[in-house]
Amino acid sequence: MTSSIQARESASPVGAAAMPPEGWRRDFAVVIPAFNEAAVIPDLIAELRDAFAAHDLHGEILLVDDGSTDGTGDLARREAGEWPLLRVLTHRTNLGKTEAMSTAARATDRTYLVLFDADLQHLPKEIPRFLEKLDEGWDIVTGRKVGAYNKRAVSSIYNALSRRIFRVPVTDLNSMKAFRRDILEELHLRHDWHRFFVVLACARGYTISEIDIELHPRRAGVSKYSGSFRIVSGVLDLLSVWFLLFVSRKPLILFGLSGITLIALGLIVGVVAFYLRFAQDFGFRPLLYLVILLETVGFLMVGIGLIAEMVAQLREEVDSLRHVRR
């Protein structure tokens, strides 16, 4: 069942170039970040083999051992045996899912990437559905989780906030997804910003579709994304992305208006202090200090806004040069 958003869209984006017939069966790489997932690796490899055989897929699989201490990478190599489609990439330390995505993107020349979690809460047989949607011309295809899961309340709040703030045309930002590799290269995600990949790509004008995907219970191991710290970190990252997308592009709007407001407030306080001193013969020194504070901070904020505008302009010029080189 497709999402209501997708149903309102045309069959494929206007002007989008689809891959050659059946080209999607080869021109892709499945990216699997894995941190201490040895318990589920045998089932994962077996089901990937079955799915690739059943759907005649010939892409590659990049399993990124993200600093595991339980032998995840070595076990994956043994389970894969002589299967040529699977490669294991290794991080010496645990860097995170975002870095695992970047490592895999640098290690392949395939056009499309499918981000797939190692815990088998989504099944490999879903991979062709995402590739077929990409073949229609979409830049990104994201899954909308269907089924019961423990973090539904937190996930629902996060998704609702993101839709409200960033106006992204999807209902689930943290699920299985597939996308063009060059999009990941363009966005330059910061640590743990994989969860804002769709938000940042949407801001750049990339087309996004959404399909329902069944969520299954984790078969073994423990979730790596739990605890109150993750919630706090997610909220702070949400604010950072908001600042990047809406404030850093026009910083003078925030800093300049705030500074002008403080300057105006300082002038008003100054007029009041002047009136009290000379009309009422009542001097109140703290008012003078408040005027000095408001004016100083106000002019500083305007200055910061002007400097930030120059930095924003330089960043846009650097981005333009990067696109020209490509």
pLDDT at 17 over 50: no
Q: Of residues 91 and 174, which shows the higher confidence score?
A: 91
Q: Is 280 helix (H, G, I), strand (E, B) or coil?
A: coil
State how far the Cα of 115 lies from the Cα of 106, in Å rounded to an integer: 14
- % of the chain beyond a pLDDT of 70: 84
Retrieve residue 161's tokens: 């906030």
Q: Determine contact, residues 265/294, Cβ cutoff 8 Å.
A: yes
214 pLDDT above the threshold of 80:
yes
- Confidence bin at 142 (pLDDT 50/70/90): very high
pLDDT score, position 221: 66
Number of alpha carbons in the 13 Å side-chain half-sphere of residue 219: 15
pTM of the model: 0.74
| Per-residue pLDDT at 7 | 35
Query: Which of residues 25 and 49 earns the better pLDDT score?
Result: 49
H/E stretch holding 65: strand 60-66
Residue 249: closest CA among 187, 316, 164, 189: 316
| For helices 41-54 and 72-80, angle between their N-to-C axes, nearest 10 degrees | 40
Does 108 score more than 50 pLDDT? yes
Amino acid 283: pLDDT: 67
Structure tokens of 174? 């943290």
Nearest Cα residue to 16 out of 140, 109, 142: 140
State the Rg of the chain over Cα: 26
Over 90: is that where the pLDDT of 147 sits? no
Picking from 49-58, 66-75, 193-202, which range would have the lowest pLDDT averaged per residue?
193-202
Mean pLDDT (the chain, rounded): 84
pLDDT, tens digit (0-9, with 9 covering 90-100), for 72-102: 999 999 999 999 999 999 999 999 999 999 9
Mean pLDDT of the 25-42 span: 94
Residue 212 β-bridge partners: 144
- 129, 168 contact by CB (below 8 A): no
Cβ contacts of 94 within 8 Å, gap of 6 or more: 35, 66, 67, 68
Q: What is the pLDDT of residue 168?
A: 86
